[in-house]
Structure 1
């Protein structure tokens, strides 16, 4: 199959044994977890998502993300039928955001945007901590991310068909939909200063350099040369440590089971 060929996402009735070798290789890696402040800083700028974090998360933003992303990774790596998990976990997450608009976390547009931040962050994590990706590899990885999304059994109406469309969708969505809502003030510091889990190990200067340009703009962060140097040094140290670590232990615990199990 050509790398640029569009792969239809499997229907809910398909088996869970789907071919996702690039997702298996990189999603569960600790280096993806290190890059997660990039995704979260975008998520808090969506008014509905920000409201859900303020109104429904208790005990710390990053403690919540540790649980939620570990579950997300487990679902991606598992061949078990876990289609009900996401719906069950998100059914109660609804309300009115700080702009007076109703939200529900299972709304396909809101749910897919949150997933899209992880896809975009996954690609960034590979290019920062592993190696540059060729365009055809990004095409192939994106198609595998569509298969990963299908495991949630959430409407894919917002999901672009290929990587080129995904880039356009993501850029347009970030420009059109992301704003500094009143809830951002309650989330900004913790999002950029992780107090727990793997992101806690990332220097603050490196986190600044990891931010998506739209998030940096809206959060009034101006990454400079020192920030970029800190990220470059942290990435080099991380690659060195990874080279000395057995493959299994380069993964977060939720990914340490075989995809075919």
Structure 2
């Protein structure tokens, strides 16, 4: 914990019933995560850190599972959220090197660490428009305030993030204009030819079947992943990175998202929400009924 927060109350996750509480645990948020990760690693320092220190190539499924579990703790973890934030900072203490522009970097430098967190807000906003529902102005402001709360859980100081949504957009546009680029990691994440091992989690029989079928399954899955990664990235970020997107692709994306918007709301709750979110929602409901 920094000297700035020593002795202060623990940072708390966003409030139950808030905008982020609804978004982050919805299964549709899974479709937004590749775009957020790709926008993060478009920063030269973040891209270099992931390129040199991450296991995303050798253990992509485990890396994804751990990242998702961590994100869910930030929002739904209650008292566990602050400890998860401290764990992440400990994990990143030794990550340093030279970025793609020849500059020294450290993962916990305020600019780099804040950018990794900041990318979630425009991606959630854009993804919600396509997959769930457009957010109104007040909902956008609430989402940004809640995202700042998550930043505090992660140990990001208030002075290192724009304080309001009105201040966020100039910061974001400046980063797109001056920092982001098509890094090597971006290239891998949007490529349809990047080798990916079959999933190594789940029942043994399923893993064996996937291993046999993987040469046939991987190409269409890779195309779908690339399609969603580029399509659900905010258009200004997509343009800044240099990712191509056609009118035909946009029409396909809108058709796909229209189906998702129709299907997901009628699913039973156990299929609509991720496990930790579902448990948190149930606990919140019980607490409200007990009052």
Question: What is the count of residue pairs matched by the alignment?
Answer: 248
The equivalent of 2:12 in structure 1 is 16
Relative to structure 1, the CA distance from residue 200 to residue 244 in structure 2 (aligned partners, 3 Å threshold; closer, same or farther) is: farther
Tell which has more relative contact order, 1 or 2 (C-alpha 8 A, sep 6+): 1
Distance 1:95 1:223, change over 3 A: same
Measured in 2, the distance between the counterparts of 1:150 and 1:171 equals 23
In the other structure, the counterpart of 1:94 is 96
1:29-62 deviation digits (Å, cap 9, x = unpaired): 2222202232222222211101111101125285
Distance of 2:263 and 2:256 partners within structure 1: 11
Work out which of the residue numbers 239, 242, 247 in structure 2 matches 1:217: 239
Q: 1:165 aligns with which of 147, 152, 167?
A: 167
Q: TM-score, normalised by structure 2?
A: 0.74
Deviations 1:128-176 (A, max 9, x none): 1111111111111111111121111232322111111112211111111
Over 6 Å off, 4+ runs = none
Displacement of 1:219: 4.5
The 2-side partners of 1:67 and 1:237 are apart by 29
Q: Indicate whether 1:251 and 2:251 are aligned.
A: no
Residue in structure 1 matched with residue 68 of structure 2 by the alignment: 69
Q: Does 1:38 align with 2:57?
A: no
Tell me, what secondary structure is at the counterpart of 1:73? helix
**Structure 2 segments unaligned to the other structure (5+ residues):** 1-6, 200-220, 285-291
What are the residue-to-residue correspondences of 1:55-204 with 2, within 5 Å? 55-60=52-57, 62-63=60-61, 64-80=63-79, 81-82=82-83, 83-180=85-182, 184-191=183-190, 193=192, 202=224, 204=226
TM-score, scaled relative to structure 1: 0.82
8 A contact 2:45–2:99 mirrored in 1: yes
Match in the other structure for 1:6:
none
Check conservation: 1:39, 1:118, Cα contact below 8 A: yes
Decide which structure has greater helix share: 2
For 2:158, what is the secondary structure of its paired residue?
coil
Q: Distance in 2 between matches of 1:35 and 1:192?
A: 17
Contact 2:181-2:241 at 8 Å conserved across structures: no
| Stretch of structure 1 that moved more, 121-130 or 12-21 | 12-21
Name 2:252's counterpart in structure 1. Answer: 230
Partners of 1:217 and 1:95 in 2: CA distance: 28
- For residues 71 and 200 of structure 1, the distance between their equivalents in structure 2, rounded to whole angstroms, comes to 25
